[in-house]
Amino acid sequence: MLLAIDTSAGSSVAVVSLDGVILAERSSDDPMRHAEVIGTLIAGSLDEAGVAVADLTGVVAGMGPGPFTGLRIGIAAARSFGVGAGLPVHPVVSHDGIALDAYGTGRAAPDAGLLVVTDARRRERYWSAYAGLDANGLPVRAQGPALAKPEDLPSTEAVRFDAVVVPAGALGRIAALLLASDGAFAGEEPLYLRSPDVTMSTGAKRVTA
């Protein structure tokens, strides 16, 4: 049983079985209140699924791309939960979850090109291009994740899908498929794709009367 968490766009949490069945999924499309809602979404999802922490075998963390402030909250929540429960944390590219959901719900044919786009703020967009599903049912990422101005997004005949929240259930399904096929998970580094808005202090400021 997997607990999947993502805060790269809105906030989303799901409980997914190892055979890919989504037992519960809760989300908020508010891009600013990740810290306020993530605990409630986790508790609500576990309660709805009727799953105890002891029943879980792993935690899935959406690694972005996403803005620094929001994305790190979900990753920290997943890692903290994993440490507290003694569970492995499986990192997954958030756009892959959007792509799997788009293919699975018929927004794009399984062998069709797909352009996934999410808001990066600062009048920019995160994007990833996909070439369909592979033999294991996993989305094949052809390009990205990358960052671009809206006018500089790839010009393509692929289906474009703009998402405001990453479906954690799809992230959990990807993790289940990777575990079943001994596939490679994403890297451990968050995909911010640009420097954070905050900078380190250069020291105490001198105050004059």
Confidence of residue 206 (pLDDT cuts 50, 70, 90): low
pTM metric for this prediction = 0.91
Indicate whether 53 belongs to any domain: yes
Q: Could you tell me which residues come within 8 angstroms of residue 104 by beta carbon, excluding any fewer than 6 positions away?
A: 170
Q: Count CB atoms within 10 A of the CB of residue 140.
A: 14
Indicate whether 148 belongs to any domain: yes
Indicate whether 51 belongs to any domain: yes
Is the distance from CB of 141 to CB of 116 less than 8 angstroms?
Answer: no
Indicate whether 30 belongs to any domain: yes
pLDDT for the residue numbered 70: 94
Indicate whether 79 belongs to any domain: yes
Which is higher by pLDDT, 200 or 68? 68
CATH of the domain at 67: 3.30.420.40
Indicate whether 27 belongs to any domain: yes
Give the 3-state secondary structure of residue 173. Answer: helix
pLDDT for the residue numbered 202: 56
Domain extent for 170:
2-181
Q: What is the C-alpha end-to-end distance of the chain, expressed in Å? A: 62
Indicate whether 84 belongs to any domain: yes
Which is higher by pLDDT, 207 or 175? 175
Indicate whether 202 belongs to any domain: no
pLDDT for the residue numbered 31: 81
pLDDT for the residue numbered 195: 67
Q: How many domains does the chain have?
A: 1
